[in-house]
């Protein structure tokens, strides 16, 4: 664009977007007001140009986002229809073609039927749809209480399910994938298994990990889905069954998060959870506790675990009084944590787990 | 706070266009979202009936997707879309007037009057001047009004206005220039403009 200092005719101003904005009383980042009064000839010209713009207003209506989306869906429908129409034309009278066409139509109908099954028309995906589409028998755990609930999966991963949340998972993970479905909020600690990726399906997002800990917040009635990483590396992408979904992926490292804005179907990446107020508010004791212990009495370690997982740990206090441990437990799920502790204690120490109640059986650390 | 909005809003028209040509549905949808409103607004100035206009704009996009592999790379997306809407409306128009003499898109009426931003005018003398100027603008030919609309409201370059109106560059330039001249004639011109008329930069 031409430098405004060389403007010398009305047209120059009319075609300058920032000038138009200024005239219409919107923002003035280029400071036209000041520039105008720098010289009297200029001021005159600007005043004329201003009048021209005022006399050339248009009443444009901006269509709502909703209306635009409706129109876009109509377009996709029309596109679908015109694709179907193509093969039927001049050769319609051949008998072989009729047969072929009949087969084609049936095929097409079947295809669209199944295509529809896996890709719902609208762009939101609900927990119900996800669970329905999984053909393995799933167990569903619902937390209707007012306290987080601990779930241990068959691969020794643990999930702290928040109130008003649901998790569906197979009794035993088979094949080379581990898939669970979440509605609501859960804190996941996934046991390491480089050969079997672990997937959390939550609304329109899929979180893929091999072994880490992270939180997923995906309530059906909330505008966003959020994934917050505590340890390890996590890959979040949009569920490919969403219509028009891009294969967008977000890689997250510890203390990073991804927020999927459901209405707009896009990801925001948050590079520092502690700098994002709404996210920080949704982390809780789990993320704030440290599971790195350096020469710490074991009863205190148990206390930390109790706080984090909201569990009860029953242990022979007297026998373990003199036991101190140095260990890093932050990157492993609860069963693994307990196992490591018992192994460190030695002496055939072991644990038993029954829901939120854990019993440590030990004769002390020598 | 550092945030990455890994979204399409920052992607240029032309890179979306190129993705679309390769069959990227998301790019297609984004361009649709970006321009639907603008195109409907423009279409309403060429044809009555908002629903018909919307249908027309949607059909333009259906065609774009259907023939995506044949689309030209080197275009200005906005101008191309405005031009496509205009052509499509002209075709509908021709079909409806099959027995009349109307033969080409030059005959499309521009059903539109510029209005006045009166909320921004404080003094009475200015009001009068603006009203007078507005009257003159609305007395311009349809083509001139449309050219002004495309150039100054849609922000197209003269070349792009030419493309949309299906005219060559020079005629478009003249069309716009004559419009401005006409307005100057009607409008009480200040001494400054007379002065500028002699400046070598004028055209």
Mutant choice from B28, B30, B58 vs A, greatest count of A C-beta within 10 A: B58
Burial B74-91 (b: 16+ CB within 10 A, else e): ebbbbbbbbbbbbebbbe
> Could you read off the pLDDT of A290-342 as tens digits, one per residue?
888 888 888 889 988 888 888 889 998 888 888 888 888 877 888 888 988 88
The answer to whether the Cβ–Cβ distance between B36 and A272 falls below 8 Å is: no
> Could you read off the pLDDT of B68-103 as tens digits, one per residue?
888 888 889 999 999 999 999 988 877 766 555 444
**To the nearest whole angstrom, how far is the Cα of A10 from the nearest Cα of chain B?**
9
A45 neighbourhood in chain B, CB within 8 Å = 192
Tell me the C-alpha distance between A229 and A258, whole Å.
9
Mutant choice from B113, B192, B200, B202 vs A, greatest count of A C-beta within 10 A: B192
pLDDT of A11 reads 84
- What residues does CATH 2.60.120.1440 cover in chain A? 127-286
CATH 3.40.605.10 is right for the domain spanning A289-361: no
**Sign of the CA dihedral with A122 first, then A126, A132, and A135 last:** positive
List, as one string, the DSSP characters of A225-293: EEEEEEES-EEEEE-TTSTT----EEEE-TT-EEEEETTTTEEEEES-GGG-HHHHHH--HHHHS--EE
- Beta strand A197-202 pairing with A177-189: parallel
Element (H, E) at A346: none
pTM of the predicted model as reported, rounded to 2 decimal places: 0.48
Query: Which phi-psi region, left, alpha or beta, contains residue B34 (left: φ > 0; alpha: ψ -120 to 50)?
Result: alpha
ipTM exceeding 0.85, yes/no: no
Joined together, the tokens standing for residue B113 give: 């009057």
B46 neighbourhood in chain A, CB within 8 Å = none
- What residues does CATH 3.55.50.30 cover in chain A? 289-361
A62 neighbourhood in chain B, CB within 8 Å = 37
| Torsion, CA B117, CA B118, CA B123, CA B129, rounded to 10 | 70
Q: Contact at 8 Å (CB) between B26 and A244? A: yes
B159 neighbourhood in chain A, CB within 8 Å = none
**To the nearest whole angstrom, how far is the Cα of A199 from the nearest Cα of chain B?**
22
Query: B196: pLDDT confidence band, cut at 50, 70 and 90?
Result: very low
CATH 1.20.1090.10 is right for the domain spanning A127-286: no
One pLDDT digit (tens) per residue for chain A, 366 residues: 568 888 888 888 888 888 888 888 777 788 888 888 888 888 888 888 888 888 888 878 888 888 999 999 989 888 876 554 444 444 455 555 666 666 777 777 666 655 555 444 455 677 777 777 776 678 888 888 888 888 888 888 889 998 889 999 988 887 788 999 999 899 998 888 888 889 999 888 888 887 788 888 888 888 888 888 888 888 888 887 665 555 578 888 888 888 888 888 888 888 888 778 777 777 777 777 788 888 888 888 998 888 888 888 999 888 888 888 888 887 788 888 898 888 888 878 889 888 788 899 888 886
The answer to whether the Cβ–Cβ distance between B152 and A72 falls below 8 Å is: no
Tell me the C-alpha distance between A165 and A207, whole Å.
17
């Amino acid at each position: 664009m031409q430098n405004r200092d060389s403007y010398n005719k009305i047209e120059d101003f009319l075609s300058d977007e920032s000038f138009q904005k200024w005239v219409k009383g919107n923002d003035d980042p280029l400071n036209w007001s000041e520039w105008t009064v720098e010289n009297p000839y200029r001021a005159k010209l600007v005043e004329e140009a201003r009048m021209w713009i005022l006399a050339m207003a248009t009443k444009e209506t901006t269509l709502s986002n909703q209306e635009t989306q409706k129109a876009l869906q109509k377009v996709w429908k029309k596109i679908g229809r015109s694709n179907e129409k193509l093969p039927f034309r001049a050769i319609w009278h051949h008998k072989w073609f009729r047969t072929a066409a009949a087969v084609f139509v049936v095929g097409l109908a079947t295809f669209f039927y199944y295509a529809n099954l896996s890709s719902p028309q609208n762009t939101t995906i609900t927990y119900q749809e996800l669970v329905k589409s999984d053909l393995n028998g799933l167990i569903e755990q619902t937390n209707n209480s007012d306290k987080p609930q601990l779930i241990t999966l068959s691969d020794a991963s643990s999930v702290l399910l928040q109130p008003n949340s649901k998790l569906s998972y197979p009794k035993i993970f088979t094949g080379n994938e581990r898939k669970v479905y979440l509605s609501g909020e859960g804190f996941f600690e996934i046991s390491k298994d480089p050969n079997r990726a672990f997937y959390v399906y939550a609304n329109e997002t899929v979180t893929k990990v091999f072994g880490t800990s992270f939180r997923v917040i995906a309530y059906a009635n909330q505008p966003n889905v959020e994934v917050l990483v505590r340890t390890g590396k996590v890959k979040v992408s949009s569920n490919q069954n969403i219509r028009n979904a891009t294969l967008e992926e977000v890689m997250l490292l510890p203390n990073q998060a991804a927020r999927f804005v459901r209405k707009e179907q896009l990801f925001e990446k948050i590079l520092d959870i502690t700098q994002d107020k709404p996210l920080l508010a949704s982390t809780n004791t789990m993320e704030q506790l440290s599971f790195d212990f350096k020469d710490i009495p074991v009863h205190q370690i148990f206390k930390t675990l109790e706080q984090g997982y909201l569990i009860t740990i029953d242990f022979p206090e007297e026998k373990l009084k003199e036991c101190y441990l140095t260990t890093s437990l932050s990157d492993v799920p609860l069963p693994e944590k307990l196992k490591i502790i018992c192994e460190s204690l030695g002496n055939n120490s072991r644990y038993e787990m029954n829901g939120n109640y854990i019993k440590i059986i030990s004769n002390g650390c020598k | 706070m550092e945030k990455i909005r890994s979204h399409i809003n920052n992607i240029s028209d032309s890179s979306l266009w190129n993705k679309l040509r390769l069959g990227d549905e998301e790019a297609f949808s984004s361009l649709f979202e970006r321009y639907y409103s603008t195109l409907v607004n423009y279409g309403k100035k060429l044809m009555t009936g908002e629903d018909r206009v919307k249908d027309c704009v949607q059909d333009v996009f259906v065609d774009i997707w259907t023939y995506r592999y044949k689309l030209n790379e080197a275009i200005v997306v906005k101008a191309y879309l405005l031009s496509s809407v205009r052509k499509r409306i002209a075709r509908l128009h021709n079909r409806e007037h099959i027995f009349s003499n109307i033969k080409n898109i030059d005959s499309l009426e521009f059903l539109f009057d510029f209005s006045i931003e009166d909320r921004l005018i404080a003094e009475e003398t200015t009001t009068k001047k603006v009203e007078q100027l507005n009257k003159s603008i609305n007395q311009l030919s349809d083509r001139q009004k449309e050219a002004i609309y495309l150039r100054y409201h849609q922000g197209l370059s003269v070349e792009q206005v030419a493309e949309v109106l299906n005219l060559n560059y020079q005629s478009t330039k003249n069309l716009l220039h004559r419009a401005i001249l006409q307005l100057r004639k009607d409008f009480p011109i200040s001494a400054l403009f007379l002065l500028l008329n002699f400046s070598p930069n004028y055209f």
